[in-house]
A = this chain, B = another copy of it.
Amino acid sequence: MELYQLRTFAAVAELGSLTQAAERLHLSQPAASAQIKLLEEEFGLALFERKPSGLTLTRAGTELLPGIQTLLASAGQVLTHASVSRAT
Checking B3, B43, B68, B82 against A3 with a beta-carbon cut-off of 8 angstroms, the contacting residue is B3
- Contact A64–B78 (Cβ < 8 Å): yes
Given contacts A1-B75, A1-B79, A2-B2, contact A63 B44 (CB under 8 A): no
Number of copies: 2
Would you give the 0/1 interface string for A24-39, flagging 1 where the beta carbon is closer than 8 Å to chain B? 0000000000000000
Interface class of chain A by DSSP: helix
Which B residues touch A60, using CB under 8 A? Answer: 82, 85
User: What bracket does the count of chain A residues touching chain B fall in?
Assistant: 20 to 34
- Contact A82–B2 (Cβ < 8 Å): no
Judge if A52 is at the interface, Cβ distance under 8 Å: no
